[in-house]
Structure 1
Amino acid sequence: MVRSPELAPLGILGGTFDPIHFGHLRLAEEARQQLRLARVRLIPAGRPAHRGAPGARAEQRLAMTQLAAAGNATLEVDAAEVLSNAPSYTVPTLERLRRELGAQQPLVLLLGADAFAGLPTWHRWRSLFELAHIAVATRPGHSLDTHALPPELAAVCDERSTDASALATSPAGCILRFPITPLDISATAIRSACARLESPRYLLPDGVVDYIAQHRLYREAPCEPEEEPS
C-alpha cells in the first residue's frame, strides 16, 4: 500500500495584535523555520475574552495585521474572529479550522511560555489537544520547567511532549518547545509611546506605523497589559 504523503503543518498564531509588532512576526518566522511549517496563519481576536477592550477597534487591528503580513507569502491573515459577534476563544476557532482544512491537516498552535502556563484557565483547554499540536516558544537557554506548571498541565506535558519531527505525521496532540530570539517589544509599550506622542518606528512594520499615525490610534491613556486569547 502506498502511504499518503505527509501534509506540511500549518502554524496558528492568535492574539489581540493591539498593535501587531516585530515580536509577533519574528515568533512566526522562527516557528516556521524551526518547525518546518508550510505557513503561519495570523488570527486577530475580535472580542478578546480575558482582557479589557483593546485600544484599537477589531477592524483596525485586522487592517494592521494585513499590512504587517503583506509581501510575505508564508503569512496569511484570518479575519473570521473579527467578523464574528461571538467572544474569541481558541477551541471554537480550531474547530472551525478543522472543518475548513480537514481532519488530517496538522495544525500547530503557537504560544509563549507564559500563555502556555496559564492553559488550564482557558475555555475547554483539554480539547485543544484533539484539534492541534501546541508549540511553546522559549528563550534560548531556558527550558519549560514542568515543575512550575499547574499539576494537571505538567501531567499532560509528560504524556504529550515530543519534537518537531512528529508534527507532520499526525494532525494534533503533541507538545513541543522551540527557542526564539528574545525581543524586548510589547504592544503595551507601543501603546504607551503613542499616548506620549512618541514614534513607535522600528518596533513594528512601517505600514503599521503609518496606519497608527493616519488613524491617530492610541492617543488616549494606554490600555492594560495584553493577554493571550483563549
Structure 2
Amino acid sequence: MQAILGGTFDPVHRGHLHIAAAGRDLLEAESVTLMLSARPWHRATPMAATEHRWNMLRLAAQAAPGLVASNIEAQRPGPSYTADTLRESRRRIGNTEPLVWLIGEDAVALLSSWRDHDALPGLCHLLVFAREGGPRHVPDGFRLAQRPQELAELPCGGVHFADTPPMAVSSTEVRRAIATENDASALLPAAVWAYIRRHGLYAGVGGT
C-alpha cells in the first residue's frame, strides 16, 4: 500500500504530521509520503519558494518515523494537479497495489472542481479526516469503506472517514504568528522552526 498526503506545506507544521502519522497507523502502512504541491492551481502562490518548502518538508520527514518526503510535482512543468500525481504514482507502483490519498473534509467538498476529478476513483482511495460532527459525503464514483482496513482489499475507489480529528493548526496561523514576531515553535517541528528563523521566512507577510 502507498499512502500520500499532499499539500503546499507553507510551512509544514505539526498538524500535517499528526494527520500523516494517524493515516499511517489507521492504514497499517509502512510509511506515508508527504507530497509537495509545487505550483498549486487552486490556491494563491505560496509565500515561500519551492526550494524552501521542500527543504522544510525533508527536515520534518527526517524527524518523523514512517514519513517520507517527495517533490515529484516540482519536477514537472506547469501547475500541480492531483490527478497527474496519482497517475505518475500508479505508473511507479502498478495497478494492483492500493493507493490512498489522505485528505481533509474541506478539500473533499471541493473535489468536483478539481481537474480530472472523475478519474480519481480509478486511481486511488480516499482517507478523509473530518472534524467531529462534520459532513460525511461520499464523493461521486467512490464507495464507502466502514473500516480503514477495507482500503487494502482493492487498489482504488473506496473512501473511509477517519475518527481521528485534525489538529486545530493551520499554515496561515503559523505565518501570522511569525509575521507578528510571536513564538511559533509549538506549532512546528524543531528543525523547521530553526530553518525558518535561519532564512528569515514569512517575516512581514501579514499573515495571509
TM-score normalised by the chain length of structure 2 = 0.93
Kindly state the Cα deviation for residue 79 of structure 1 after the two structures are TM-superposed. 1.2
Q: Higher Cα Rg: structure 1 or 2?
A: 1
Moved over 4 A (4+): none
Letter aligned with residue 119 of structure 2: S
Is structure 2 residue 12 aligned with structure 1 residue 20? yes
Is structure 2 residue 64 aligned with structure 1 residue 72? yes
Is structure 2 residue 76 aligned with structure 1 residue 84? yes
How many Å separate the matches in 1 of 2:130 and 2:149?
18
SS of the residue 1:83 aligns to: coil
Kindly state the Cα deviation for residue 223 of structure 1 after the two structures are TM-superposed. 5.5
The 10-residue stretch of structure 1 (113-122 or 81-90) with the greater mean CA deviation from structure 2 = 81-90
How many Å separate the matches in 2 of 1:215 and 1:117?
36
**Structure 2: 5+ residue stretches without partners:** none
**Structure 1: 5+ residue stretches without partners:** 1-8, 225-230
Residue correspondence of structure 1 range 24-43 to structure 2 within 5 A: 24-43=16-35
The answer to which structure, 1 or 2, has the higher relative contact order (CA under 8 A, 6+ apart) is 1
Q: What value does the CA root-mean-square deviation take over the aligned residues?
A: 1.6
State whether residues 179 and 207 of structure 2, in contact with CA within 8 Å, keep that contact through their aligned partners in structure 1: no
SS of the residue 2:186 aligns to: coil
Counterpart for residue 161 of structure 1: 144
Letter aligned with residue 126 of structure 1: D
Is structure 2 residue 135 aligned with structure 1 residue 144? yes
- Percent identity reads 36
Equivalenced residue count is 207
Decide which of 100, 105, 115 is 2:92's aligned counterpart: 100
Kindly state the Cα deviation for residue 106 of structure 1 after the two structures are TM-superposed. 0.7
Kindly state the Cα deviation for residue 144 of structure 1 after the two structures are TM-superposed. 3.1
Is structure 2 residue 37 aligned with structure 1 residue 54? no
TM-score normalised by the chain length of structure 1 = 0.85
Kindly state the Cα deviation for residue 164 of structure 1 after the two structures are TM-superposed. 1.6
Is structure 2 residue 167 aligned with structure 1 residue 183? yes
Is structure 2 residue 96 aligned with structure 1 residue 112? no
How many Å separate the matches in 2 of 1:128 and 1:209?
35
How many Å separate the matches in 1 of 2:94 and 2:203?
43
